[in-house]
Amino acid sequence: MTDIAGNLRYLKSRIPTSVKLVAVSKTKPVMDILAAYNTGQRCFGENRVQEILNKKDLLPNDIEWHLIGHLQGNKVKEIVPVISMIQSVDSFKVLSTINSEALKSKRVTDCLLQIHIANEETKSGFNLKELSEVVESPGFNSLKNVRVCGVMGMATYTSDLEQIRKEFAYLSECYKVLKNNYFTGSHHFKEISMGMSGDYEIAIKEGSTMIRVGSLIFGERNKT
C-alpha cells in the first residue's frame, strides 16, 4: 500500500510554504484522495472533466479542484460551476467559452494560460507570440468572467535535467514578459505552475509558485 500521508509529509517538508501543492489524483480512487484530504490537503488536480464530476460528489465539498488537462469546448459548461482553477487554457476560443459559461453561472473563473515549453509535439499550449496576440486582441479585455492568474507549462519528458531547467527558465521568462507588458495592474496574475514528481525541485529553483505532483504522492499510475 502507498503511504499517502507519509509521502505528503515528506514532500511538504521539501517545498517552501509559498509554493502551492496541487495533488494530482487522476486515475486514483476517491479513497486515496480522502487519505490525502485527511492530512489537510485541499487542492487536487485532474486532467479529465468527467473524472472530476464523478469524484467530487463522493468527496468533501471544500476540495479545490484544478483542471490540468486539455479542455474541450463542449465540456466547459459542466466544469465551470465546480472548478476552482482551469490551468490548461490553450486557445482564445476556450477562454471565451469559459467566460460565457462563467457569466451564466454568475462566477469568475480562475485560469492559467498553458504555454508550450517542451520540444515534444504532444504537449499542447500557446507559444509566446500566439499569447501576445490573444492578450492584445480587442476581445480579451471584454472577458470579465475569467481571471487570468498566470501561466502553466510541462517540461519535456527526459532525463536531461539541464534541458528541463532551461524549459522552466523559459516559462518563467514568458511569465515576466506577460506580466510586464500586459498584467502590471493585475494582482491576480502571479502564478507560474510548473513542476511534477520528477522535476519539482528544478521548477521551484526556477521560480515555480505552484507544483502539480501525482505519482510521488499516490504512487505510480497504471498505464492506460
Residue 26 contacts ligand PLP per CB under 6 A: yes
Q: Which is nearer to ligand PLP, 119 or 141 (CB)?
A: 119
Distance CA 162, CA 105 (A): 44
**Whether 215 contacts 2, CB under 8 Å:** no
Residue 125 contacts ligand PLP per CB under 6 A: no
Stretches 71-79, 134-142, 176-184, 208-216: which one binds ligand PLP (CB under 6 A)? 208-216
**Whether 24 contacts 55, CB under 8 Å:** no
Q: How many residues bind ligand PLP (CB under 6 A)?
A: 14
List the beta bridge partners of residue 211: 21
Residue 2 contacts ligand PLP per CB under 6 A: no
The helix or strand, by DSSP H or E, that contains position 191, with its residue range, turns out to be strand 191-193
Stretches 72-80, 101-109, 176-184, 211-219: which one binds ligand PLP (CB under 6 A)? 211-219
Distance CA 126, CA 99 (A): 19
Residue 164 contacts ligand PLP per CB under 6 A: no
- Smallest separation, CB 136 to ligand PLP (Å): 27
Q: Which is nearer to ligand PLP, 75 or 107 (CB)?
A: 75
- Smallest separation, CB 173 to ligand PLP (Å): 20
- Smallest separation, CB 215 to ligand PLP (Å): 4
Phi/psi of residue 22, each to 5°? -100, 115
**Whether 43 contacts 64, CB under 8 Å:** yes
**Cα separation values, 129 from 97, 132, 133, 170, Å:** 22, 5, 6, 14
Stretches 2-10, 98-106, 139-147, 207-215: which one binds ligand PLP (CB under 6 A)? 207-215
**Whether 97 contacts 73, CB under 8 Å:** yes
**Grid cell in block for residue 83:** 472548478
Residues 137-156, mask of contacts with ligand PLP (x by CB under 6 A): -----------------x--
Residue 197 contacts ligand PLP per CB under 6 A: yes
Residue 46 CB coordination number (10 Å): 27
**Whether 124 contacts 164, CB under 8 Å:** no
Q: Which is nearer to ligand PLP, 131 or 216 (CB)?
A: 216
Binding residues for ligand PLP (CB under 6 A): 24, 26, 47, 68-69, 154, 196-198, 212-216
